Structure 1
């Protein structure tokens, strides 16, 4: 398994997988409801990633077949001792490839990328109600650090 940096030619593969991830997240909170023009918006968002030096999208490729994707964003907080982080923004493995160790392999590659970029820690967030994701990250050695709160404005 390898992580291959995505290019403009990969936008459809990224959007397809992101949409599947986003649809699954709708079940966890009403604030995750997708907009009607979500595909166009997603294409624009991934296209913007190509021009953003802090964000990198990777396709997860196993034996020549794309089986998922991961989006990483570098952050810097100069006032903190642990100042340089790499954030896992999206991590998705296709349904047919789940529970085969790919998520763990992806995290190992992400750690290598973070070290190569001079980062001193990783961050990730997931939906509070998504027990599978919470368990996955806990089992991988992540620990809770903060809680995000959300409130719709009506």
Structure 2
């Protein structure tokens, strides 16, 4: 397996995997509509490919990807942050170290870019993803909370 920067010919394959990621997140409460965002995510992935901020795991076929960036905060902070935006491994290839290899390589790129900390988001009910990231040293830092308004109209 090779972790590499993809070229623009890989964009559609990465988009298809992102659609799979977004579909899977809906099982954990995500409101993101996967297919409805195909064009927007294609543009985003293309920008990441051109900017060398996406990596793929290639075994003769792309089996996973990670997108990452350095955060450009509008406020002065005491730490510079890198962000893992998306990490996905095709379901049939999970548990083989591919996600760990993608994450580790992205972390190395962010470290080389000078970040002090790396942040990511995970759906709260996604126990497998939370365990994966904890095994790699990630701890909760900020918790986002949500309340459906329709259920609270009588209070």
**TM-score of the superposition, structure 2-length normalised?**
0.82
**Partner Cα separation in structure 1 for residue 139 and residue 65 of structure 2:** 23
What does residue 99 of structure 2 align with? 103
Equivalent residue runs for 1:33-112 within 5 Å: 34=33, 37-50=36-49, 53=51, 56-62=53-59, 64-77=60-73, 79-82=76-79, 84-112=80-108
Structure having the higher strand fraction is 1
**Whole-Å Cα distance in 1 between the matches of residues 102 and 13 of structure 2?**
17
Q: Does 1:136 align with 2:132?
A: yes
Highest CA radius of gyration, 1 or 2? 2
Measured after TM superposition, the shift of residue 94 of structure 1 is 0.9
Q: Please, what is the CA RMSD of the aligned residues?
A: 2.4
Structure 1: stretches of 5+ with no match in the other structure = none
Shift of 1:46: 2.1
- The structure-2 alpha-carbon separation of the partners of 1:81 and 1:139, relative to structure 1 and needing over 3 Å to count, comes to same
| Aligned-pair CA distance for 1:111 | 2.1
Deviations 1:69-123 (A, max 9, x none): 11101114573332x2211110001112101112222222122112211111111
Q: Does 1:15 align with 2:11?
A: no
Equivalent residues, number: 149
Offset at 1:150? 3.5
- Unaligned 5+ segments in structure 2 are 151-155
Q: Per-residue deviation at 1:59?
A: 1.4
Q: Is the 8 A contact 1:31 1:152 kept in 2?
A: no
The runs of at least 4 consecutive aligned structure 1 residues that moved more than 6 Å come to none
Sort the Cα spacing of 1:29 and 1:49 in 2 relative to 1 into closer, same or farther, 3 A: same
